[in-house]
Amino acid sequence: MIVSKDPNEVRNQILSWKSEKLSVGFAPTMGFLHEGHSNLFIRSASENSKTVVSIFVNPAQFNDPEDYAKYPINTDGDLEICKSSKVDLVFLPDKDTMYPGGIPEVELRIPHLMKNLDASTRPGHFEGVLLVLSRLFHIIPADRSYFGKKDYQQYLVVKDFVKALGFPMEIIGVDTVRSREGLALSSRNARLTGPEKEEALLLIRALRLGETLIRQGEKDPAEVLTVMKDVLDSSSKIQTDYLEVLDANTLEELHIVKGEILLAVAAFLGQVRLIDNITVKVS
């Protein structure tokens, strides 16, 4: 496994592979890797000749400096996970490498997909995501790039971004990996206490109850939201950031439940912000 901090070395290696007609998959990450990440890497390895992973905690996508400062880092452990997941190259840039001269004052937006969910509660977040990805996609001209659907809005935004700007790359969404109890795996889970992890299970319980109501024929989004909200409100430790029932393809609000539905939640447990979602198809 190649490990490099040099963007030119990384790009030249990838271009060399592609000159040999080898396909390249890419998974951008912020490190502190877990099974959800390794699932992306293994999926890429199964569909491509070579797999590349980047590990970079991107300051441009944090609207809370304290959240950025507390983001967990474990580079040695990350490299072990990459190696065991059949990754061929790991790009480990630092802040000066990614943003020489500082974070540029450039604003990248996909307006129709960036008006609710995390876009509304974390201003500047997706602009920062698109900024770092625009740089990474030039350094790592992969054939396919893999994103977890736990960050569902990000997956849609990036997919539309790549299409709009003509990057010759396919964006692949990979289903959320969960603990045995149902908690969506996240690097932020490491900051939860044992009791907080138990409380966090209320997120998926609320979503699954919403799914059950929809499958039983409930057509009013407000009723689905009310029932899900009751689940979250049963805990004094959970502070809901948002709770939404949206069209899963456009992220538009629904007047009636039909088609492919996204049930999404973000909530705080103490200082830790968690997100989760599920999709439901109904006729």
| Binding residue positions for ATP | 30-37, 148-151, 177, 185-188
Cα 7–162–58 angle (5° rounding)? Answer: 45
Of the candidates 12, 41, 13, 39, the one whose C-alpha atom is nearest the C-alpha of residue 26 is 41
Give the annotated binding-site residues for (R)-pantoate. 61, 154
Show the beta-strand stretches assigned E in 56-192.
89-91, 144-148, 170-174
Give the annotated binding-site residues. 30-37, 61, 148-151, 154, 177, 185-188
Q: Are 171 and 160 in contact (CB under 8 A)?
A: no
- How far is Cα 92 from Cα 98, in angstroms, rounded to an integer? 10
CA atoms within 13 A on the CB side of 112: 9
Told to judge if 125 belongs to the known catalytic residues of this protein, a careful annotator would answer no
- Residue 261, strand partner residues: 247, 280
Cα 46–47–51 angle (5° rounding)? Answer: 80
Catalytic residue, candidates 37, 112, 125, 138: 37
Tokens of 94: 């630092």
Of the candidates 223, 197, 201, 200, the one whose C-alpha atom is nearest the C-alpha of residue 210 is 223
Give the annotated binding-site residues for beta-alanine. 61
- How far is Cα 150 from Cα 178, in angstroms, rounded to an integer? 10
* Cα 84 off chain centre by: 22
> For the chain, how far is it from start to end, CA to CA, in angstroms?
47
- How far is Cα 210 from Cα 227, in angstroms, rounded to an integer? 7
Distances (CA, A) of 3 to 7, 10, 182: 11, 9, 34
- How far is Cα 68 from Cα 57, in angstroms, rounded to an integer? 8
Residues serving a catalytic function are 37
